[in-house]
Amino acid sequence: MKNLLIHADNLLGLNYLLNEKELKGAIDLVYIDPPFATGIDFTITKGRTSTISTGKNGTLAYSDKLVGKDFIAFLKKRLLLLHKLLSENGSIYLHIDYKIGHYVKVMMDEVFGIENFRNDITRIKCNPKNFNRIGYGNIKDLILFYSKTKKPIWNEPRAEYSDKDLEKLFPKKNATGRRYTTVPIHAPGETINGNSNALFKGMSPPEGRHWRVDVTTLEQWDQKGLLEWSATGNPRKIIYADEKDGKRVQDIWDYKDPQYPIYPTEKNSRLLDLIIKTSSNPKSIVLDCFCGSGTTLKSAHLLDRHWIGIEQSDLAIKATQNKMNTIKANLFISQPEYDFVSMTDTEEKV
């Protein structure tokens, strides 16, 4: 498939993908960062992003005037089409503000099924602020993660251990300085027959427990020096820090917004890298129908995915094209090639 950038209202663009491109069930991953129902306009002034309430100063990037039930209805129309476009192994990540996010989740439960809700992810968006207000400082927003079915693409993400993690999780060091920890070699539950209850070096598992592995494996661990024996003769399995891929990624992400974005909705590219690596495979199709300045599309391209972007704003389309032009081809990365479709002369009522 050839990559595709569509200049259009995304309701038109999504129908085009379904009816003209016949991509029903073909999209493995959707990431969208729609307006947050703030009721204000976003402008670009002197090359930097600012927010104003009138839209009279600077160049209008996009208007975020739909609020409340009108916003939910606007979003639901698009999510129903996205559900049709998603593959059976597909997932959607919707980035939204906490002020409206709870209502969006209830609506997404209806569209995607509450059984396919995977996570609500807290994203740390900025450093702490000291504004005078009645309420706690807001440094977060929300990403709602749903899958199309119970078996989505899932490439387990891992995060590197920090120095503090290593000290806490792997507190011991061997003679060569390798950090490690130890874990029991038995688990709850008794077995009557089989190797998990056999004698190991003359010992049975503690009462009410069984060996985690068969006795042959325990003996191999012992021969390789992978068991640590206590002074009382209690063996534990050695786990080395440098043999682990890292720690599981949790549901609080610290990916702050760029300090000087080129477009109001620009997000941290590392956030998109994580989502794309986790919930799609090489050559998967990644779709962003609120593509803004094209961060999703660039990350998808650099990670060897096909991509589709839809955006109505003239400024955003130009920013996306400029961003894709910054990608330089090399042995591993191709120069972005894509079809460009403009549907801005056609009006669609929302």
Give the CATH number, domain containing residue 90: 3.40.50.150
**3-class DSSP state of 190:** coil
The distance from CA 162 to its chain's CA centroid, rounded to whole angstroms, is: 21
Residues 169 and 271 in one domain: no
The answer to whether position 51 is within a domain reads yes
Question: Are the beta carbons of 281 and 155 closer than 8 angstroms?
Answer: yes
The answer to whether position 348 is within a domain reads no
CA-based nearest residue to 15, from 65, 71, 102, 85: 85
Residues 8 and 143 in one domain: yes
Residues 142 and 209 in one domain: no
pLDDT of residue 133: 83
The answer to whether position 81 is within a domain reads yes
Question: Are the beta carbons of 169 and 240 closer than 8 angstroms?
Answer: no
CA-based nearest residue to 58, from 48, 67, 68, 66: 48
Residues 64 and 96 in one domain: yes
The answer to whether position 350 is within a domain reads no
The answer to whether position 279 is within a domain reads yes
pLDDT of residue 322: 94
C-alpha 293/C-alpha 304 separation (Å) is 19
Q: What residue type is 334 in one-letter code?
A: S
pTM of the model: 0.83
Residues 213 and 116 in one domain: no
Residues 192 and 262 in one domain: no
**3-class DSSP state of 24:** coil
Question: Are the beta carbons of 8 and 310 closer than 8 angstroms?
Answer: yes
The distance from CA 223 to its chain's CA centroid, rounded to whole angstroms, is: 42
- Number of neighbours of residue 309 by Cβ within 10 angstroms: 28
What is the tally of helices (H) and strands (E) in the chain? Answer: 8, 20
Residues 181 and 233 in one domain: yes
Which of these three, 194, 221, 240, is where a domain ends?
A: 240
The answer to whether position 63 is within a domain reads yes
C-alpha 309/C-alpha 27 separation (Å) is 12
> Between the CA of residue 114 and those of 141, 147, 207, 322, what are the distances in Å?
21, 10, 42, 39
pLDDT tens, the chain, 350 aa long: 899 999 999 999 999 999 999 999 999 999 999 985 555 555 556 544 444 444 456 665 445 556 678 889 999 999 999 999 999 999 999 999 988 999 999 999 999 999 999 999 999 998 888 888 888 888 999 999 999 999 999 999 999 999 999 999 999 999 999 999 999 999 888 665 666 778 999 898 888 899 999 999 999 999 999 999 988 889 999 999 999 989 999 999 999 988 887 887 889 999 999 999 999 999 999 999 999 999 999 999 999 999 999 999 999 999 999 999 999 989 889 999 999 999 975 444 33
Residues 25 and 113 in one domain: yes
Q: What residue type is 282 in one-letter code?
A: P
CA-based nearest residue to 282, from 261, 300, 256, 270: 300
The answer to whether position 347 is within a domain reads no
Residues 91 and 203 in one domain: no
C-alpha 219/C-alpha 284 separation (Å) is 44
Paired tokens of 154: 């899932």
Residues 202 and 173 in one domain: yes
| Domain housing 220 | 163-240
Number of domains in the chain: 2
Paired tokens of 215: 């006795």
Which of these three, 240, 270, 294, is where a domain ends?
A: 240
Residues 66 and 122 in one domain: yes
Paired tokens of 5: 């950038």
The answer to whether position 349 is within a domain reads no
Residues 169 and 226 in one domain: yes
Kindly calculate the radius of gyration of the chain based on its CA atoms and give it in whole angstroms. 26
Which of these three, 185, 208, 240, is where a domain ends?
A: 240
